[in-house]
Each structure stands twice: as structure tokens, then as C-alpha cells.
Chains A and B, each alone.
Chain A
Amino acid sequence: MASLTPTEPAVTTEEHAFEPRPYANPYLAGIGLGLVLLSAFVFMGRGLGASGAFNSTIAWLLSLVAPGYAASNEFLARYLDVPGHPLKAWLVFEVLGVFAGAVLSGVLAKRMSRTVEKGPRASVTLRLGFAFLGGFLMAFGAALGRGCTSGQALTGGAILNAGSWIFMMCFFGGAYGAAWFVRRQWR
């Protein structure tokens, strides 16, 4: 029962709460993911990631607009101080692959959908506003934590990196702690 909101006629919204969808068995998906991660260790001696690709991209974009500043920015300089093009970074290509793999799976499972995922009590505007805010906050979280869930929790978790396990536990703690406060967005 999709409803059309007046401001965004081209977008439909799913109003059902946590309806089971025909997704894969989580354990099988997890094994698949684990094997992908293992292959990264075996082939490259590193794990997966995502936030690093954003860092490289921002560094490169900034270098186009303000090259002097970009090169002197302590955080971004290391993404520019590389032998080749800043976008020829391992994570950038990995994230492009993530996009491709997601499209592949989504198309084959007929799960491609121009929609906004949100709970029944939230408006599209609220959801989109929060999506932006959440992304913004997590960029800081990832930069401070030196990784995101794929880099720290998954990768570091698998190789028993102490810092990663601390990160992982705080991640779940923070999420569960804040969930009640934003329940209106989802339930």
C-alpha cells in the first residue's frame, strides 16, 4: 500500500513496519561476506573498508578547487601524497565494486526500488533530514575511530584487533542507546 506524498510524486514509500522480506539466510550471507573478507586478507593483506574511499574522493575534489589548501590539510594530505592519482586508491575501486555488486544482486532479486526507507510515523522530509544528519555524524565517527563498520568491526574483528573489538562494542552500545530516542523514525 504505497502512498504518494504531495511533494515528491515520483517517490513511493513503504509504510509497513519490519515486514519480513525474502532476503537471504543471514548466516549464509554472513559466510559469503566472511569469505570475501578472507580473500582480501589472502590476496592483499588487508581487509575491507568504505570510509577511506570517501576521504580520497573529498581530498581529490578539494584539490581541484583549492589545491594549495588541500595539500596542506593535515587530514587530506595523506590521500593526495600518493604516487598516482588520488582516486586510484584501493578503497575507491573496492567501493565502486560494492556499488556494482549491489546493483547486480538488486536487479536479480528484483529489489531495485526508487523509494525512501522509513517507518510509518515519519515523513519523508524527516527521514531524509535524519539520513543526512546521520551520515554527517558518522563521517566524524569514522574519521575519529579510524574506520567504519567494515574496516574496524568486520576486518579488525576477524583478525582479533583489540581496538576494533572496543569499537564494535561501543558501536552496538551507542546504537542501542540512541535507538529509543529516534524510534519515531522507524516504528
Chain B
Amino acid sequence: MNAPLYKFGAFGDETSLVVAFVIGIGFGWFLERAGFGNARKLMAQFYLTDMAVFKVMFTAVVTAMLGVTYLAWAGWLDLSLVYYVPTFWVTAIVGGLLMGVGFVIGGYCPGTSVVSMATGRLDGLVYVGGFTAGTLGFALGYPAFRDLLAMGDLGVLTLPEVTGVSWGIVAFAVVLMAVGGFAGATWVERWMTAKADPAARAD
């Protein structure tokens, strides 16, 4: 098997758009299944009563990561042909913080806002409007951000490269962190829910 299939010419640009749509369906399906079209469910994470965001996100990361690891190990997936967003550590921090703050204000991220809008939520629709306006605002004000965007350019950088440790070790560490985190998260959920309302149904 020669993956990534598209990059080895298995199919062309037009087909890749169909692939995009189908993958999107899967993406939207599972986001909705997890309840991520609902801002209250998403926000509960940050008030510690429902840690689904952490659980879903890191389960997804671990699943895909292990998949990539095993497929690359078997020689089926050429990891050097998978796109990596270059690391700009300054904007990674600034952008990440801004996204986090915006998340608890807006209640969604761009992906989940589409899910929310699709299932009828008005706040999701308004969020999409805000995000669109913000995109335009950023575009119009781009010259002001040019310097910030260029700072801290470390190029394509992986965690194994940064830590000097093998991919496998990093992957195992991520798994341990995630599983440990899930156990901790569940404990926190139970503790918070019991504390806030002893009469509430346990998760």
C-alpha cells in the first residue's frame, strides 16, 4: 500500500474533493455524537463537571497517533509525505491562548460551530457569523500581524525531534498521559457533580 494515496497519484484533485466531503461527514457525525454541537456540553469541561472535550479530543489524538505509528512502521504510510504545519512558537502560544479565551466566550470552535448550526442552534449560527466577520477583520488588518506571524519560526518540528527521544517513546508517553488523564478527569467529574448537587444523577 502506498499512502498517502493521493500523493502517490491514486486519485486526482476532483476525487479528492469527494474524499473531503465524505471525511467531513465522518467528522461531523462523531462531533455531533459526542454532543459537541451543544455549547453547554463543551463548556462543562472548563467548569470541571463534564470532561468530554478532553476525553474525546485525546482519544482521537491517541487513536490517530497509534494508527499513524503502526502504518508508518509497517512501511505503508510515508510519514514524510504527510503535511506538517510549521512550528512558529510565538503564534502557537498567542493563537492558542486567544483560541482558548474565545472558546469560553463564544462557546464553540469553528468546527463545532458548524455542527451546532447544522443541528439548529442559533448561537452556533451567530458564532459562525462572528468567526466570518473576524476572518474578514484579520484579512483587512493583516499588515499589523505580519511581523507577529513571522516570529519564532522553527520550521517543521516534531516532539521527538525537540525532546531528542524516539517517536515510539513519545507516543507511549502520550498514551500514558492520556489514559492517566482520563482516569483523573472521571474522578474530577464525579467529585464536582457530587459537590455541586448531591441529588444530581451521577455520570
List A residues at the B interface (Cβ < 8 Å). 11, 14, 17-18, 20-21, 23-24, 26-27, 29-48, 50-51, 54-55, 57-59, 62, 73-76, 84, 88, 90-106, 109, 111-119, 127-128, 130-179, 182-183, 185-187
Contact = CB atoms under 8 A, between A and B. Distances in A.
A98 B68 CA distance: 23
Given A50-B109, A94-B23, 9 more contacts: A34-B60, A36-B30, A94-B21, A98-B27, A101-B25, A106-B118, A144-B91, A146-B91, A148-B110
15 contacts: A18-B44, A35-B67, A45-B3, A102-B32, A104-B29, A117-B38, A117-B124, A139-B137, A145-B95, A146-B91, A149-B57, A158-B61, A162-B87, A165-B159, A169-B96
Interface of B: 3-7, 13, 16-35, 37-41, 43-47, 49-50, 52, 54-65, 67-68, 71, 77, 79, 81-89, 91-111, 113-124, 126-140, 142-143, 145-146, 148-149, 154, 156-162, 167, 170-171, 174, 182, 201, 203
| 10 residue pairs, one from A and one from B, having the closest CB atoms | A134-B106, A97-B24, A145-B95, A174-B100, A30-B59, A34-B63, A139-B134, A135-B130, A101-B28, A170-B96
Contacts of A174: 96-101, 103
Contacts of B139: 55, 58-59, 62, 73, 75-76
A155 B61 CA distance: 7
A34 B133 contact: no
Contact of B99 (A34, A149, A182): A149
Nearest to B84: A161
Given A39-B26, A43-B4, A144 B98 contact: yes
Given A29-B56, A117-B107, A163-B85, A37 B39 contact: no
A142 B34 CA distance: 23
A178 B156 CA distance: 31
Contact of B47 (A104, A127, A186): A186
Provide the main secondary structure of the chain B interface. helix
Contact of B159 (A26, A98, A153, A162): A162
Nearest to A163: B87
Contacts of B92: 145-146, 152, 163-164, 166-167, 170
A131 B64 contact: no
B5 A40 contact: no
A134 B85 contact: no
Contact of A127 (B123, B130, B132, B161): B123
A30 B95 contact: no
A138 B132 CA distance: 10
Contacts of B18: 93
A116 B20 contact: no
A130 B107 contact: yes
A165 B133 CA distance: 27
Given A144-B95, A161-B85, A42 B100 contact: no
Q: Which of A21, A26, A40, A187 has the most CB of B within 10 A?
A: A26
A162 B158 contact: yes
Contacts of B118: 98-100, 102-103, 106
B106 A130 contact: yes
B58 A57 contact: no
Contact of A45 (B71, B82, B167): B82
